[in-house]
Structure 1
């Protein structure tokens, strides 16, 4: 949990007055596993923004899967960190797509894909085409990937550099994925395993934290005025990055250990409590 160094970093000095950067995960944090955005959550986000703070959605979702939620939250300006940090975009209602890409990190997925295929020959594989959708070896379960879907041969997945690889093996567990990732020794990439048998693979060193740090620098927010709320393994770096890292109550022990504090779970609208506490904090 909190270390002395992190306690010191979290203290606010007179030079740190001003708005906070509030990074919010989506699935399991803002949105229930039934894809419900509750009124209390929507209202809390709106109140934080109305108070002048920067709310930044940070998710493993693709950009085109995040912009509809941003619209539902009435966030039409500001920043989004998508694809676990590989894509950083600035929302702009005047832009043709409603956003401008500010940073896109890519890598050659071929080596990782070939290693994984040896261990998981029956898995489903996809690579992301930013702002469009995915190229896939076969369709994923309904609702898991948004945008256009193009079925291609496995070898075509590395025809160009990509921001992200997604691996899905419905017959396996997340524990199976962790064991497999350690066994094959994935190198030169960053990976995160989800609740189900789902793995996201990104360029080396790219995480939600790296994307958020770009946003923080652009906004000129003090590192001591950063807060993050999340619940998954792909949130660990983000929680450690923030001066105030908050894990949702239903998170795994590994995620809770990376945070400074734990709030209520998704069923208890734990993120709402955290956002309301921020509103009660003096600048």
Structure 2
């Protein structure tokens, strides 16, 4: 890959661009100078920067703004949201691709084993979430509208969040493997947090849609991420890079492991391809 240069830089947000801290607040959403500068060097070199996250669309636009994306006079930004189920342009938010599914059977199966779990679905178009109970502060963005579970998943949705503050990530991994969750894909986060999505939908499928629009392919993509929901993206990309603090399953899916988020691993990796002047 000595003469390879990324033409698309796909960036996860939480744990990649942003440093994860317990009891996060709004102050958590801070872009450091090394990350900001590396992103703009990529743009200067003609690369497309695509944010790719499990967040809802409304939870991602602030990060684009903090990064100064898109730059004035350039095309609108491509963003992959909801773990690939939603692809949109910004600004303003214009959804150009969305995958939905019937989540009710999978949600019922999980709640049978975790009856006190929290359930959330994004309120598309307005931000916020419909929830069966309020989530811990800082875990989801926007207004939380208390709604019965049957109504939350009463129609096709692009993603469902299930969260059990009393359980662990390993509990959810074991449960998902045991249930099979037929007709649904899932990913478990750092905690007992499960994202349910349509089968075959991932950050990789969302990025594939973006690349088709750009006339590019997986071989052109540098992807950086840290979570289990990044595994498909890291395997798919021409170069998949795991953050240093990632769990082993994520590192094993990657072509390379960079420094941790606290050591600016995303900036370190981008600087390999888009070095600072004089570096």
Q: Would the aligned equivalents of 2:208 and 2:217 in 1 still touch at CA under 8 Å? A: no
- Aligned-residue CA RMSD in angstroms? 1.7
Cα shift readout 1:116-173 (whole Å, capped 9, x = no counterpart): 1111101111112223221100000111111232101121112211111100100110
C-alpha contact (below 8 Å) 2:183/2:198 kept by paired residues: yes
1-structure distance, mates of 2:222, 2:139 = 28
Q: State yes or no: 1:75 paired with 2:74.
A: no
CA distance in 2, matches of 1:22, 1:80: 11
- Report the Cα offset of residue 12 of structure 1: 6.1
Counterpart contact for 1:11–1:224, Cα < 8 Å = no
In the alignment, is the contact (CA less than 8 A) between 2:59 and 2:141 conserved in 1?
yes
Equivalent residue pairs, number: 263
Structure 2: which 5+ residue stretches go unaligned? 22-27, 71-75
Please name the residue that 1:95 is paired with: none
> Does the alignment pair 1:228 with 2:223?
yes
- Residue in structure 2 matched with residue 57 of structure 1 by the alignment: 51
Report whether the alignment pairs 1:203 with 2:190. no
Partner Cα separation in structure 1 for residue 106 and residue 20 of structure 2: 29
Match of 2:99 in 1: 105
Residues 79-90 of structure 1: matches in 2 within 5 Å? Answer: 79-90=78-89
Paired residue for 1:272, among 263, 267, 273?
A: 267
Per the TM alignment, residue 11 of structure 1 is displaced from its structure 2 partner at its CA by: 7.8
| Native 8 Å contact 2:38 2:274 kept in 1 | no
Q: Distance in 2 between matches of 1:12 and 1:188?
A: 42
Q: Is the aligned partner of 1:21 residue 2:8?
A: yes
Q: Choose from 20, 23, 29 the match for 1:33.
A: 20
Q: TM-score when scaled to structure 1?
A: 0.89
Give the gaps of 5 or more residues in structure 1. Answer: 1-9, 93-97
On the 8 A contact 1:164/1:201 being kept in 2, the answer is yes
Give the secondary structure class of the aligned counterpart of 1:23: strand
Q: Structure 2 length as normaliser, TM-score?
A: 0.90
Q: Indicate if the aligned counterparts of 1:12 and 1:225 stay in contact, CA closer than 8 A.
A: no
